[in-house]
Structure 1
Amino acid sequence: MAKTLHRLITALATAVAAVGLLTVAPATADVSPYIVGGTRASIGQYPWTVYLASSSGGQFCGGTLVSGNKVVTAAHCTSGRSPSSTRVVWGREDKQSTAGVVASVTRIWIHPSYRSATSGYDVSVLTLDRNISSSYLPLATPSDTSLYAAGTNATILGWGTTSSGGSASRYLLKATVPVTSDATCRQAYPQYSNTSMVCAGYPQGGTDTCQGDSGGPLVAGGKLIGATSWGRGCASAGYPGVYARIASYHSVLTQQINS
């Protein structure tokens, strides 16, 4: 059985770690424009989509600007990292360009119950050293139950790999995936929890987030409904992507955003 993989990319390793965390070096050349099964996206259309980078500039995760100086991402992207080693890049559709803003991080908050992505609570809030002049994406609330209904079309975005274990994308990519039912997700993943996670993907696979997209947005109804978390491989039939269910964390995330 294939290992369950967190969707994280680092610039420091190219091997599969013993815990099943797939890490690959970011590409320096252009690649085919697919998240997995997606297309190029305009940063102007999705201005709240950001990526996380090391102090040397290597992209390793995604995130969502939710206020002038706050970014929501996945806890497994920031666990073990220091603010001084982390950057947030806003307004840069092409990673090889110098467009946009590179902000330093002054504080990293990780949900206190987080232990691993597959255990839930995979959310983190970054505080930036400046206010970004941009529109931002509101969080889904507990009353937004319709956004989590099976079949709801949602948008995924990121700069991650275009196949499991493949090369990272130079450009921001997007795709549309349907939210799956809790029963479907639980059948694929016994550890699935509908109180902390939500799944999205086609039964036949073919379209999905992948390594390096971790922490990036799952968007429906003009709101952030999920943060890319984990899954078995990428775009595999019968194994949808798993996302942190933002509505479940609305209260605690709002506290951090307003702090």
Structure 2
Amino acid sequence: MPAKSRRNLLLVAGALLAAAVAVPVASATPETAGQPGIVGGQPAAVAQYPFAVFLTDENGSQFCGAVLIGENSVATAAHCAKAVTKTNLRVVAGRQDKRVKDGTVSTVSDIWVNPDYTDPGTGNDIALLTTSTRLRYDTAQVTQTARYYAENTMATVLGWGRLKDNGERSDVLRSVDVPMISDASCKTAYGNYDPSTMVCAGYANGGKDACQGDSGGPLVVGKVLIGIVSWGVGCAQPGKPGVYTRVSAFADELEKRSNRGLF
């Protein structure tokens, strides 16, 4: 089964087709280019995870997750940042339920995409959005160390994605706890795994994972951001853990750019 990014396909067809992600394991078609959301988890409170935010197009259609690391700095996956134009991109913070209008919605004034990024399957899947509005919520701390990636360290992945592979979309923020997996085990699962810019998390028997609509969302230990939802094969399949961007590899760049800001 092909490896695919975990972006949702809710956007205008023309915009998504223009930004289709091609992962080297297999080419994605318009029907399969997205992966489902949080599988095997439970509803989570934005009050507990105020740094968890999501991305929409100008019509309010959610398609990716993201994470607040500064008042106007939002980290996400590169393939999410490239999915729509800057003019059409919105960041929604402080909103637990997508069906309501609370929280803060901001346009984006600047987008930085890692220049080494080509597609999720080759790594470097990270971007930083600068919001036009200050998002006054608690931020996640960007890890600069490798200690959080030790095998069996428990981490939490957050998102508004699907509840199972090609299943129902969640209206509310959800979370699930998953153990970190060794580089050797992840390399066994995925021949294109790059330990310098990727990290894996999940159970050998599957059952708990990120899914469609969760791309760009945070993998955290407490308030410490260690990963960005990137790609995988299906959702919560045995032997196919979720693959995340290894945030520590980009900590210096994120710190430099988030401190630059607009304010």
Whether 1:171 aligns to 2:180 is no
Aligned match of 1:20: 28
1:6 — aligned with what? 5
**What is the CA-CA distance between 1:50 and the residue it aligns to?**
0.1
Give the conservation status (yes or no) of the 8 Å contact 1:10–1:59. Answer: no
Tell me the secondary structure at the aligned position of residue 160 of structure 1. coil
Taking only the aligned residue pairs, the percentage that are identical comes to: 41
1:61 aligns with 2:60: no
Structure 2 CA distance for aligned equivalents of residues 80 and 97 of structure 1: 24
CA distance in 1, matches of 2:81, 2:180: 26
d(CA) in 2 for partners of 1:65, 1:183: 31
Q: How many residues align?
A: 249
Deviation of 1:25 (Å): 11
Q: Distance in 2 between matches of 1:181 and 1:232?
A: 18
Asked whether the 8 Å contact 1:6–1:214 carries over to 2, the reply is: yes
Q: Superposed, which structure 2 residues align to 1:43-192 within 5 Å?
A: 43-141=46-144, 144-192=145-193
> Taking structure 1 as reference, are residues 245 and 113 closer, same or farther at Cα in structure 2, changes over 3 Å only?
same
Conserved? CA contact 2:124–2:197, under 8 Å: yes
Q: How far off its partner does 1:221 sit?
A: 4.6
Does structure 2 conserve the Cα–Cα contact (< 8 Å) formed by 1:23 and 1:211? no
Counterpart contact for 1:7–1:211, Cα < 8 Å:
yes
Unaligned segments of structure 2, at least 5 residues: none
Give TM-score scaled by structure 2 length.
Answer: 0.90
For the aligned residue pairs, the C-alpha RMSD in angstroms reads 2.1
Quote the Cα distance in structure 2 between the aligned partners of 1:20 and 1:167.
21
- Distance in 2 of aligned mates of 1:25 and 1:62: 13
Q: Tell me the SS of whatever aligns to 2:184.
A: helix
Report the Cα distance in structure 2 between the residues aligned to 1:118 and 1:247, rounded to whole angstroms: 18
| 3-state SS of 2:141 partner | coil
- The runs of 5 or more residues in structure 1 that have no matched partner are 27-33
* Structure 2: distance between partners of 1:63 and 1:24: 16
Distance, in Å, in 2 between the alignment partners of 1:210 and 1:25 is: 5
Provide the secondary structure at the position in 2 that maps to 1:209.
coil
Amino acid at match of 2:72: N
The change in CA–CA distance for 1:171 and 1:80 in structure 2 (over 3 A counts) is closer
Match of 1:29 in 2: none
Is this contact kept in 1: 2:150–2:180, CA < 8 A? yes
Matched residues in 2 for 1:182 and 1:25: separation? 23
Write the distance in 2 (CA, Å) between the matches of 1:115 and 1:3: 17
- 1:67 is aligned with what amino acid? G
Aligned partner of residue 179 in structure 1, secondary structure: strand
CA separation of 1:203/1:148 partners in 2, compared to 1, >3 Å: closer, same or farther?
A: same
Q: Is the 8 A contact 1:10 1:58 kept in 2?
A: no
Quickly say closer, same or farther: Cα 1:3–1:25, change in 2 above 3 A.
closer
Question: How far is 1:10 from its partner?
Answer: 2.6
